Amino acid sequence: MSQDLPTTSYALLGLLTFGDDLTGYELKQRADRTLRFYWVSPAMSQVYTELARLAGHGLVSARDAGPNKRSSKYRITAKGRRELATWLESEPVEFPTLKHPVALRLLIGHLVDPATTIGLLRDYLGSLAARRAELAQVRESLRGRDDLDQPFHHPSLVAEWGLEYFDSERDIVEKLLRRLEEQG
């Protein structure tokens, strides 16, 4: 029965488990707010492709709302919920993948002068702070709906995890930067 879909498909399906029905467009917005920080934010076109696939497997159902067959809302089906729970329990869970262009550039730092590397890391600290602020705003927006029995309890746990990750990354890079500045 287990369908074995790509992970992004399960991720989008998961975003439909919070008690509301969404259009493809709205689903993309939710992905931009949450999924982006620890998975990917799929392109608009892929959201529609995935919704069509999920509907083909009977994991979501489409319901027309607007007058012109537009704005159809998607709802997760009972089968979709079972499928998601099975996926969640399936072993083994893949190890996280990190694609870190900054670390990658630091690796070949011997090709350029130290000032370039230092500038690279300073820029990174800036974008890290900006990204952290975005996530902090998301976390704040869940306040009041994040109690133990409320739908956004787990999303808020994940958001807090992300904030701690950003803080730790900042600390590590700051320390590294001090080290490079002393050498250079």
Partner DNA sequence: ACAGCCATGTAACTCGTTACATGATTAC
Partner DNA sequence: GTAATCATGTAACGAGTTACATGGCTGT
Based on the shown chain and the rule CB under 7 A, indicate whether residue 21 belongs to the binding site for DNA: no
- Which of these ranges, 22-30, 46-54, 56-64, 103-111, lies near its own copies under the rule CB under 8 A? 103-111
42 vs 80 by CB, closer to DNA: 42
The binder of 143, among DNA, its own copies, none, by C-beta within 5 to 8 A per type, is: none
Based on the shown chain and the rule CB under 8 A, indicate whether residue 79 belongs to the binding site for its own copies: no
Distance CA 116, CA 2 (A): 50
What is the nearest approach in angstroms of its own copies to the Cβ of residue 70?
29
Burial of 177: CB neighbours in 10 Å, binned 0-12, 13-18, 19+: middle
The binder of 95, among DNA, its own copies, none, by C-beta within 5 to 8 A per type, is: its own copies
The binder of 68, among DNA, its own copies, none, by C-beta within 5 to 8 A per type, is: DNA
Q: Would the CA dihedral through 16, 135, 140, 155 be positive or negative? A: positive
Distance CA 61, CA 80 (A): 9
Residue 50 in contact with residue 9, Cβ under 8 Å? yes
